[in-house]
Homo-oligomer: A and B are copies of this chain.
Amino acid sequence: MKSTLIKEIFRNSENFSGKEIKISGWIRTSRSSKSFGFIELNDGSFFKNIQVVVEEDSLENFKEITKLPISTAVSVEGILELTPESKQPFEIKAKNIVVEGISSSEYPLQKKRHSFQFLRTIAHLRPRSNTFSAVFRVRSLAAYAIHKFFQERNFIYVNTPIITGSDCEGAGEMFRITTMDLNNVPKDDKGNVNYSEDFFNKEVNLTVSGQLSAEAYALAFRNVYTFGPTFRAEDSNTTRHAAEFWMIEPEMAFAELKDYMDTAEAMIKYVIKYVRENAPEEMEFFNKFVDKELFNRLNNVANSEFGRITYTEAVDILKKSGEKFEYDVEWGIDLQTEHERYLTEKVFKKPLFVTDYPKDIKAFYMRMNDDNKTVAAADLLVPGIGEIIGGSQREERLDILEKRMEEVGLNKEDYWWYLELRKYGSTKHAGYGLGFERLIMYLTGMGNIRDVIPFPRTPGSAEF
Protein backbone atom coordinates (compact mmCIF):
# COMPACT_ATOMS: atom_id res chain seq x y z
CA MET A 1 0.00 0.00 0.00
CA LYS A 2 1.27 3.50 -0.82
CA SER A 3 1.59 5.72 2.19
CA THR A 4 -0.42 8.94 2.31
CA LEU A 5 1.04 12.29 3.35
CA ILE A 6 -0.21 13.38 6.76
CA LYS A 7 -1.00 16.81 5.31
CA GLU A 8 -3.42 15.25 2.82
CA ILE A 9 -5.19 13.47 5.64
CA PHE A 10 -5.58 16.63 7.74
CA ARG A 11 -6.82 18.63 4.77
CA ASN A 12 -9.36 15.98 3.67
CA SER A 13 -10.02 13.86 6.71
CA GLU A 14 -13.66 13.25 5.75
CA ASN A 15 -12.49 11.42 2.64
CA PHE A 16 -10.44 9.00 4.67
CA SER A 17 -12.99 8.36 7.40
CA GLY A 18 -13.41 4.67 8.15
CA LYS A 19 -10.90 3.70 5.49
CA GLU A 20 -7.74 1.72 5.80
CA ILE A 21 -4.72 3.87 5.09
CA LYS A 22 -0.98 3.75 5.43
CA ILE A 23 1.17 6.54 6.83
CA SER A 24 4.90 6.79 7.36
CA GLY A 25 6.75 9.15 9.65
CA TRP A 26 8.78 9.66 12.75
CA ILE A 27 7.61 9.15 16.33
CA ARG A 28 7.37 12.48 18.12
CA THR A 29 6.01 11.14 21.39
CA SER A 30 4.71 7.87 22.66
CA ARG A 31 2.86 6.85 25.83
CA SER A 32 1.27 3.59 26.77
CA SER A 33 -0.20 1.47 29.50
CA LYS A 34 -0.11 -2.32 29.59
CA SER A 35 -2.60 -2.97 26.90
CA PHE A 36 -2.80 0.16 24.84
CA GLY A 37 -1.08 3.40 23.97
CA PHE A 38 -0.79 6.44 21.74
CA ILE A 39 1.88 7.44 19.29
CA GLU A 40 2.15 10.96 17.89
CA LEU A 41 3.51 10.57 14.39
CA ASN A 42 4.85 13.34 12.16
CA ASP A 43 6.06 13.05 8.57
CA GLY A 44 7.15 16.65 8.04
CA SER A 45 4.44 17.36 5.47
CA PHE A 46 2.27 19.04 8.11
CA PHE A 47 2.72 20.97 11.32
CA LYS A 48 0.54 18.73 13.44
CA ASN A 49 1.13 15.14 14.45
CA ILE A 50 -1.32 12.38 13.73
CA GLN A 51 -2.44 10.29 16.67
CA VAL A 52 -2.00 6.55 16.28
CA VAL A 53 -3.80 4.25 18.69
CA VAL A 54 -1.99 1.01 19.43
CA GLU A 55 -3.65 -1.89 21.20
CA GLU A 56 -2.17 -5.13 22.41
CA ASP A 57 -5.11 -7.09 21.06
CA SER A 58 -4.75 -5.92 17.49
CA LEU A 59 -1.01 -5.45 17.18
CA GLU A 60 1.38 -8.37 17.06
CA ASN A 61 4.46 -6.31 17.95
CA PHE A 62 2.68 -4.13 20.53
CA LYS A 63 5.44 -4.52 23.14
CA GLU A 64 8.20 -3.58 20.73
CA ILE A 65 6.26 -0.63 19.35
CA THR A 66 5.48 0.96 22.69
CA LYS A 67 9.15 0.94 23.65
CA LEU A 68 10.48 2.61 20.52
CA PRO A 69 12.64 5.69 21.14
CA ILE A 70 11.66 9.12 19.88
CA SER A 71 12.39 9.77 16.20
CA THR A 72 12.12 6.15 15.17
CA ALA A 73 10.79 5.86 11.61
CA VAL A 74 7.70 3.69 11.24
CA SER A 75 5.00 2.87 8.74
CA VAL A 76 1.51 2.39 10.09
CA GLU A 77 -1.46 0.69 8.47
CA GLY A 78 -4.77 1.19 10.11
CA ILE A 79 -8.28 2.60 10.02
CA LEU A 80 -8.86 6.32 10.24
CA GLU A 81 -11.61 7.19 12.68
CA LEU A 82 -13.05 10.65 13.11
CA THR A 83 -13.13 11.68 16.77
CA PRO A 84 -15.21 14.84 16.82
CA GLU A 85 -15.43 14.84 20.61
CA SER A 86 -11.68 14.70 21.25
CA LYS A 87 -8.96 17.28 21.10
CA GLN A 88 -7.61 15.81 17.88
CA PRO A 89 -10.06 15.58 14.96
CA PHE A 90 -9.27 11.94 14.16
CA GLU A 91 -6.98 9.07 15.01
CA ILE A 92 -5.66 5.96 13.35
CA LYS A 93 -6.33 2.57 14.89
CA ALA A 94 -3.19 0.67 14.01
CA LYS A 95 -3.49 -2.80 12.52
CA ASN A 96 0.10 -3.15 11.50
CA ILE A 97 3.23 -1.17 12.30
CA VAL A 98 6.58 -1.71 10.59
CA VAL A 99 9.74 -0.25 12.10
CA GLU A 100 11.59 1.34 9.20
CA GLY A 101 14.56 2.60 11.18
CA ILE A 102 15.04 2.67 14.91
CA SER A 103 16.30 5.74 16.73
CA SER A 104 18.22 5.70 20.00
CA SER A 105 17.98 7.08 23.48
CA GLU A 106 20.93 9.29 22.57
CA TYR A 107 18.79 11.19 20.07
CA PRO A 108 19.67 14.79 20.94
CA LEU A 109 16.21 16.26 20.31
CA GLN A 110 14.41 14.94 23.35
CA LYS A 111 11.08 16.34 24.41
CA LYS A 112 12.42 19.13 26.60
CA ARG A 113 12.83 22.61 25.16
CA HIS A 114 16.18 23.36 23.61
CA SER A 115 17.72 26.75 22.98
CA PHE A 116 17.97 27.91 19.39
CA GLN A 117 21.70 28.18 19.99
CA PHE A 118 21.96 24.50 20.86
CA LEU A 119 19.78 23.55 17.92
CA ARG A 120 22.20 25.31 15.53
CA THR A 121 24.81 22.73 16.50
CA ILE A 122 22.50 19.99 15.20
CA ALA A 123 21.34 21.72 12.04
CA HIS A 124 20.90 18.31 10.39
CA LEU A 125 18.28 17.36 12.99
CA ARG A 126 16.65 20.63 14.01
CA PRO A 127 14.09 20.60 11.14
CA ARG A 128 12.48 17.73 13.08
CA SER A 129 11.57 20.14 15.91
CA ASN A 130 8.25 22.01 15.90
CA THR A 131 9.77 25.44 15.41
CA PHE A 132 12.16 24.62 12.60
CA SER A 133 9.74 22.33 10.88
CA ALA A 134 7.39 25.34 10.73
CA VAL A 135 10.11 27.80 9.69
CA PHE A 136 11.26 25.77 6.73
CA ARG A 137 7.81 24.91 5.47
CA VAL A 138 7.00 28.61 5.54
CA ARG A 139 10.29 29.38 3.80
CA SER A 140 9.37 26.96 1.03
CA LEU A 141 5.89 28.43 0.64
CA ALA A 142 7.19 31.99 0.63
CA ALA A 143 9.69 31.14 -2.11
CA TYR A 144 6.92 29.68 -4.20
CA ALA A 145 4.65 32.65 -3.53
CA ILE A 146 7.34 34.94 -4.90
CA HIS A 147 7.72 32.91 -8.08
CA LYS A 148 3.95 32.75 -8.43
CA PHE A 149 3.54 36.49 -7.97
CA PHE A 150 6.04 37.35 -10.68
CA GLN A 151 5.07 34.59 -13.10
CA GLU A 152 1.41 35.62 -12.93
CA ARG A 153 2.56 39.10 -13.94
CA ASN A 154 4.65 37.77 -16.85
CA PHE A 155 8.00 38.55 -15.29
CA ILE A 156 10.80 36.41 -16.71
CA TYR A 157 12.89 34.52 -14.14
CA VAL A 158 16.56 35.00 -14.94
CA ASN A 159 19.48 33.15 -13.37
CA THR A 160 22.21 35.76 -13.17
CA PRO A 161 25.76 34.45 -12.68
CA ILE A 162 27.08 33.50 -9.23
CA ILE A 163 30.71 33.61 -10.35
CA THR A 164 31.44 37.12 -11.48
CA GLY A 165 34.26 39.36 -12.56
CA SER A 166 32.40 42.51 -11.62
CA ASP A 167 31.42 44.03 -8.29
CA CYS A 168 27.92 45.42 -8.55
CA GLU A 169 27.93 47.81 -5.65
CA GLY A 170 31.42 49.01 -6.45
CA ALA A 171 32.22 48.44 -2.80
CA GLY A 172 31.13 44.99 -1.67
CA GLU A 173 33.40 42.74 0.34
CA MET A 174 33.67 39.67 -1.80
CA PHE A 175 34.79 36.06 -1.69
CA ARG A 176 37.53 35.17 -4.16
CA ILE A 177 37.10 31.97 -6.21
CA THR A 178 40.12 30.10 -7.48
CA THR A 179 41.44 26.71 -8.55
CA MET A 180 45.06 27.72 -8.01
CA ASP A 181 47.15 25.83 -5.49
CA LEU A 182 47.16 28.11 -2.46
CA ASN A 183 50.33 26.49 -1.19
CA ASN A 184 52.07 27.64 -4.31
CA VAL A 185 50.24 30.54 -5.93
CA PRO A 186 51.56 31.24 -9.47
CA LYS A 187 53.22 34.65 -9.69
CA ASP A 188 54.14 36.84 -12.63
CA ASP A 189 57.47 38.61 -13.34
CA LYS A 190 56.64 41.35 -10.87
CA GLY A 191 55.76 38.91 -8.10
CA ASN A 192 52.00 39.48 -8.31
CA VAL A 193 49.42 36.72 -8.54
CA ASN A 194 49.29 35.44 -12.08
CA TYR A 195 45.57 35.09 -12.66
CA SER A 196 46.12 33.98 -16.24
CA GLU A 197 46.86 30.60 -14.68
CA ASP A 198 43.55 30.49 -12.83
CA PHE A 199 40.46 28.65 -14.09
CA PHE A 200 38.85 31.67 -15.69
CA ASN A 201 42.18 33.36 -16.59
CA LYS A 202 41.20 36.28 -14.42
CA GLU A 203 40.13 37.35 -10.95
CA VAL A 204 36.62 36.23 -10.12
CA ASN A 205 34.40 36.51 -7.06
CA LEU A 206 31.09 35.35 -5.68
CA THR A 207 28.34 37.74 -6.70
CA VAL A 208 26.98 40.31 -4.26
CA SER A 209 24.01 41.14 -6.50
CA GLY A 210 22.56 40.10 -9.83
CA GLN A 211 21.26 43.56 -10.56
CA LEU A 212 23.52 44.67 -13.38
CA SER A 213 22.88 41.45 -15.30
CA ALA A 214 19.19 41.72 -14.52
CA GLU A 215 19.17 45.19 -16.06
CA ALA A 216 20.49 43.73 -19.32
CA TYR A 217 17.62 41.26 -19.27
CA ALA A 218 15.00 43.87 -18.34
CA LEU A 219 16.09 45.79 -21.41
CA ALA A 220 15.18 42.74 -23.47
CA PHE A 221 12.18 41.23 -21.63
CA ARG A 222 10.80 44.34 -19.97
CA ASN A 223 9.99 42.67 -16.61
CA VAL A 224 12.38 40.18 -15.06
CA TYR A 225 13.35 38.90 -11.62
CA THR A 226 16.22 37.00 -10.12
CA PHE A 227 15.98 34.68 -7.15
CA GLY A 228 19.27 33.16 -6.15
CA PRO A 229 22.11 33.12 -3.65
CA THR A 230 24.32 36.15 -3.04
CA PHE A 231 27.35 36.54 -0.82
CA ARG A 232 29.02 39.08 1.45
CA ALA A 233 32.43 38.53 3.01
CA GLU A 234 31.66 40.98 5.80
CA ASP A 235 33.13 40.06 9.12
CA SER A 236 30.02 41.08 11.05
CA ASN A 237 28.53 38.73 13.58
CA THR A 238 25.00 40.08 13.95
CA THR A 239 21.59 38.44 14.08
CA ARG A 240 20.76 39.91 10.67
CA HIS A 241 23.84 39.15 8.54
CA ALA A 242 24.94 35.95 6.89
CA ALA A 243 27.77 35.38 4.43
CA GLU A 244 25.43 33.48 2.12
CA PHE A 245 21.81 34.47 1.63
CA TRP A 246 19.15 34.49 -1.09
CA MET A 247 17.97 37.60 -2.84
CA ILE A 248 15.06 38.47 -5.08
CA GLU A 249 15.89 41.23 -7.54
CA PRO A 250 13.07 42.32 -9.86
CA GLU A 251 13.94 44.75 -12.62
CA MET A 252 11.38 46.54 -14.82
CA ALA A 253 11.87 48.50 -18.03
CA PHE A 254 9.65 51.45 -18.88
CA ALA A 255 9.29 51.89 -15.14
CA GLU A 256 9.96 54.62 -12.62
CA LEU A 257 10.52 54.72 -8.89
CA LYS A 258 6.77 54.67 -8.29
CA ASP A 259 6.42 51.45 -10.29
CA TYR A 260 9.03 49.72 -8.14
CA MET A 261 7.21 50.83 -5.00
CA ASP A 262 3.82 49.69 -6.30
CA THR A 263 5.22 46.30 -7.28
CA ALA A 264 7.09 45.78 -4.02
CA GLU A 265 4.04 46.69 -1.97
CA ALA A 266 1.84 44.30 -3.93
CA MET A 267 4.47 41.56 -3.64
CA ILE A 268 4.82 41.83 0.14
CA LYS A 269 1.05 41.71 0.58
CA TYR A 270 0.78 38.76 -1.80
CA VAL A 271 3.39 36.70 0.04
CA ILE A 272 1.83 37.36 3.44
CA LYS A 273 -1.57 36.33 2.14
CA TYR A 274 -0.22 33.21 0.46
CA VAL A 275 1.66 32.03 3.53
CA ARG A 276 -1.23 32.66 5.89
CA GLU A 277 -3.62 30.77 3.63
CA ASN A 278 -1.29 27.87 3.04
CA ALA A 279 0.36 27.50 6.43
CA PRO A 280 -2.28 28.63 8.93
CA GLU A 281 -1.15 26.15 11.62
CA GLU A 282 2.48 27.24 11.38
CA MET A 283 1.54 30.91 11.48
CA GLU A 284 -0.66 30.36 14.54
CA PHE A 285 2.28 28.68 16.20
CA PHE A 286 4.63 31.60 15.47
CA ASN A 287 2.08 34.07 16.73
CA LYS A 288 1.59 32.12 19.93
CA PHE A 289 5.09 30.96 20.78
CA VAL A 290 7.63 33.02 18.85
CA ASP A 291 6.29 36.55 18.54
CA LYS A 292 2.96 37.55 20.06
CA GLU A 293 2.87 40.69 17.94
CA LEU A 294 3.21 38.79 14.68
CA PHE A 295 -0.42 38.78 13.52
CA ASN A 296 -0.93 42.38 14.58
CA ARG A 297 2.06 43.34 12.49
CA LEU A 298 1.16 41.26 9.46
CA ASN A 299 -2.46 42.42 9.55
CA ASN A 300 -1.26 45.96 9.71
CA VAL A 301 0.92 45.42 6.64
CA ALA A 302 -1.80 43.62 4.72
CA ASN A 303 -4.37 46.33 5.40
CA SER A 304 -2.27 49.49 5.12
CA GLU A 305 -1.44 51.56 2.14
CA PHE A 306 2.32 51.88 2.63
CA GLY A 307 3.52 55.37 3.53
CA ARG A 308 5.80 57.33 1.19
CA ILE A 309 7.98 60.25 2.25
CA THR A 310 11.21 61.71 1.00
CA TYR A 311 14.48 61.37 2.84
CA THR A 312 14.47 65.14 3.34
CA GLU A 313 11.05 64.96 5.00
CA ALA A 314 12.22 62.00 7.09
CA VAL A 315 15.25 63.91 8.35
CA ASP A 316 12.98 66.80 9.21
CA ILE A 317 10.63 64.60 11.21
CA LEU A 318 13.51 62.96 13.05
CA LYS A 319 15.15 66.26 13.93
CA LYS A 320 11.90 67.73 15.21
CA SER A 321 10.95 64.57 17.11
CA GLY A 322 12.78 65.46 20.30
CA GLU A 323 13.75 61.77 20.47
CA LYS A 324 17.25 60.93 21.75
CA PHE A 325 19.04 58.83 19.16
CA GLU A 326 22.43 57.21 19.52
CA TYR A 327 23.43 58.69 16.16
CA ASP A 328 22.63 62.32 15.46
CA VAL A 329 20.49 63.14 12.46
CA GLU A 330 21.65 65.60 9.84
CA TRP A 331 20.75 65.84 6.15
CA GLY A 332 23.35 63.74 4.38
CA ILE A 333 23.74 60.92 6.89
CA ASP A 334 22.78 57.34 6.20
CA LEU A 335 19.73 56.55 8.33
CA GLN A 336 20.48 54.06 11.10
CA THR A 337 18.16 51.24 12.11
CA GLU A 338 17.09 53.26 15.18
CA HIS A 339 15.96 56.09 12.89
CA GLU A 340 14.25 53.76 10.46
CA ARG A 341 12.39 51.97 13.21
CA TYR A 342 11.32 55.23 14.82
CA LEU A 343 9.83 56.40 11.54
CA THR A 344 7.97 53.23 10.69
CA GLU A 345 6.98 52.22 14.25
CA LYS A 346 6.36 55.47 16.07
CA VAL A 347 5.50 58.01 13.43
CA PHE A 348 3.80 56.10 10.62
CA LYS A 349 2.92 52.88 12.45
CA LYS A 350 2.99 51.00 9.14
CA PRO A 351 5.39 50.13 6.31
CA LEU A 352 7.02 53.19 4.86
CA PHE A 353 8.99 53.99 1.71
CA VAL A 354 11.63 56.65 2.20
CA THR A 355 12.61 58.09 -1.17
CA ASP A 356 15.14 60.39 -2.82
CA TYR A 357 18.27 59.91 -0.76
CA PRO A 358 21.42 62.06 -1.04
CA LYS A 359 23.47 60.76 -3.94
CA ASP A 360 26.63 60.43 -1.86
CA ILE A 361 25.22 57.69 0.34
CA LYS A 362 23.79 55.66 -2.54
CA ALA A 363 25.18 53.53 -5.39
CA PHE A 364 26.47 54.94 -8.68
CA TYR A 365 23.72 53.40 -10.81
CA MET A 366 20.82 55.18 -9.12
CA ARG A 367 19.10 57.82 -11.19
CA MET A 368 20.07 61.44 -10.49
CA ASN A 369 17.14 63.70 -9.63
CA ASP A 370 16.77 67.13 -11.16
CA ASP A 371 18.07 68.76 -7.96
CA ASN A 372 21.47 67.14 -8.68
CA LYS A 373 21.75 66.31 -4.99
CA THR A 374 19.44 63.34 -4.52
CA VAL A 375 18.80 60.13 -6.43
CA ALA A 376 15.57 58.30 -7.23
CA ALA A 377 16.12 55.60 -4.63
CA ALA A 378 13.68 54.20 -2.09
CA ASP A 379 14.03 51.93 0.91
CA LEU A 380 11.08 50.11 2.38
CA LEU A 381 11.05 50.23 6.18
CA VAL A 382 8.77 47.95 8.16
CA PRO A 383 7.84 47.95 11.85
CA GLY A 384 9.86 45.51 13.89
CA ILE A 385 12.78 45.28 11.48
CA GLY A 386 13.63 48.50 9.70
CA GLU A 387 14.85 48.23 6.11
CA ILE A 388 13.57 45.18 4.25
CA ILE A 389 13.83 46.30 0.62
CA GLY A 390 16.16 48.67 -1.18
CA GLY A 391 15.68 49.83 -4.72
CA SER A 392 15.86 52.65 -7.18
CA GLN A 393 15.20 53.92 -10.60
CA ARG A 394 18.40 53.28 -12.57
CA GLU A 395 20.40 55.93 -14.37
CA GLU A 396 19.48 55.38 -18.01
CA ARG A 397 21.33 58.45 -19.39
CA LEU A 398 24.76 57.46 -20.61
CA ASP A 399 26.50 60.80 -20.01
CA ILE A 400 25.25 61.18 -16.45
CA LEU A 401 26.04 57.56 -15.63
CA GLU A 402 29.59 57.92 -16.92
CA LYS A 403 30.07 61.07 -14.92
CA ARG A 404 28.89 59.33 -11.74
CA MET A 405 31.23 56.40 -12.36
CA GLU A 406 34.15 58.78 -12.70
CA GLU A 407 33.15 60.53 -9.48
CA VAL A 408 33.15 57.31 -7.49
CA GLY A 409 36.32 56.03 -9.17
CA LEU A 410 34.97 53.11 -11.18
CA ASN A 411 36.78 51.89 -14.27
CA LYS A 412 34.41 52.33 -17.21
CA GLU A 413 36.07 49.58 -19.22
CA ASP A 414 35.03 47.02 -16.61
CA TYR A 415 31.43 48.06 -17.25
CA TRP A 416 31.55 48.28 -21.04
CA TRP A 417 28.48 46.11 -21.55
CA TYR A 418 26.52 47.85 -18.81
CA LEU A 419 27.23 51.17 -20.49
CA GLU A 420 26.28 49.76 -23.90
CA LEU A 421 22.79 49.11 -22.54
CA ARG A 422 22.52 52.92 -22.45
CA LYS A 423 23.46 53.21 -26.12
CA TYR A 424 21.11 50.79 -27.83
CA GLY A 425 17.59 51.63 -26.79
CA SER A 426 18.04 52.66 -23.21
CA THR A 427 14.89 53.50 -21.35
CA LYS A 428 13.90 54.39 -17.85
CA HIS A 429 13.89 51.35 -15.65
CA ALA A 430 13.71 50.53 -11.97
CA GLY A 431 14.23 47.60 -9.66
CA TYR A 432 14.79 46.48 -6.12
CA GLY A 433 16.38 43.87 -3.95
CA LEU A 434 14.68 41.89 -1.22
CA GLY A 435 16.74 39.77 1.15
CA PHE A 436 14.78 36.53 1.29
CA GLU A 437 15.90 35.62 4.81
CA ARG A 438 14.87 39.03 6.13
CA LEU A 439 11.44 38.37 4.68
CA ILE A 440 11.26 34.97 6.38
CA MET A 441 12.28 36.54 9.70
CA TYR A 442 9.54 39.07 9.18
CA LEU A 443 6.93 36.43 8.32
CA THR A 444 7.77 34.15 11.22
CA GLY A 445 8.99 36.47 13.96
CA MET A 446 12.25 34.51 14.20
CA GLY A 447 14.93 36.83 15.52
CA ASN A 448 18.16 35.38 14.15
CA ILE A 449 19.02 34.90 10.49
CA ARG A 450 20.85 31.67 11.43
CA ASP A 451 17.47 30.20 12.31
CA VAL A 452 15.81 30.72 8.93
CA ILE A 453 18.64 29.26 6.79
CA PRO A 454 18.98 25.46 6.69
CA PHE A 455 22.77 25.45 7.07
CA PRO A 456 23.86 29.05 7.75
CA ARG A 457 27.29 30.44 6.77
CA THR A 458 28.69 33.16 9.02
CA PRO A 459 32.22 34.31 9.90
CA GLY A 460 34.14 31.33 11.24
CA SER A 461 31.25 28.96 10.61
CA ALA A 462 30.57 26.76 7.59
CA GLU A 463 29.55 23.56 9.33
CA PHE A 464 27.56 20.75 7.70
Contact = CB atoms under 8 A, between A and B. Distances in A.
A82 interface: no
Given A101-B425, A164-B462, A462-B163, A223 B178 contact: no
10 contacts: A44-B222, A100-B427, A103-B425, A107-B423, A107-B424, A125-B420, A137-B221, A159-B246, A178-B178, A199-B459
Contact of A100 (B43, B160, B428): B428
Nearest to A196: B460
A435 to B, nearest CB: 13
A163 B101 contact: no
Interface in A226-275: 228-229, 231, 233, 235, 243-244, 246, 253-254
B157 A233 contact: no
Say which size band chain A's interface belongs to. 35 or more
Given A180-B182, A424-B107, A464-B417, A158 B175 contact: no
> What 4 A-B pairs come out closest when comparing CB atoms?
A44-B221, A101-B426, A127-B220, A73-B427
B182 A182 contact: yes
Interface stretch (A2-10, A54-62, A298-306, A334-342): A2-10
Contacts of A462: 161, 163-165, 200, 202, 204
Contacts of A222: 5, 24-25, 43-45
Contacts of A133: 220-221
A75 interface: yes
A421 interface: yes
Given A102-B425, A144-B151, A147-B147, A199 B217 contact: no
A95 interface: no
A161 B427 contact: no
Interface string A77-119: 0000000000000000000000011111011000000000000
Interface of A: 3, 5, 7-8, 24-27, 43-45, 71-73, 75, 100-104, 106-107, 122-125, 127-128, 133, 136-137, 139-141, 143-144, 147, 151, 154, 156-166, 173, 175-180, 182-183, 185, 191-193, 199-202, 204, 206, 213, 216-217, 219-223, 228-229, 231, 233, 235, 243-244, 246, 253-254, 396, 417-418, 420-428, 453-455, 457, 459-464
A374 to B, nearest CB: 23
Contact of A158 (B140, B163, B457): B140
Contacts of A424: 71, 103-104, 107, 125
Contact of A161 (B122, B253, B457): B457
B428 A154 contact: no
A145 to B, nearest CB: 10
Contact of A229 (B156, B229, B457): B229
B163 A243 contact: yes
A163 B457 contact: yes
Contacts of A244: 161-163
A45 B454 contact: no
A192 B83 CA distance: 67
A257 to B, nearest CB: 15
Given A160-B455, A464-B161, A192 B200 contact: no
Nearest to A6: B222
B454 A71 contact: no
A233 B183 contact: no
Nearest to A454: B158
Given A45-B221, A160-B454, A100 B177 contact: no
Nearest to A455: B161
Contacts of A139: 157, 159
Nearest to A133: B220
B24 A254 contact: yes
A366 to B, nearest CB: 18
B159 A229 contact: yes
B396 A101 contact: yes
A196 to B, nearest CB: 9
A175 B199 contact: yes
Contact of A233 (B104, B179, B229): B179
Contacts of A125: 216, 220, 420, 424
Contact of A213 (B163, B164, B243, B455): B455
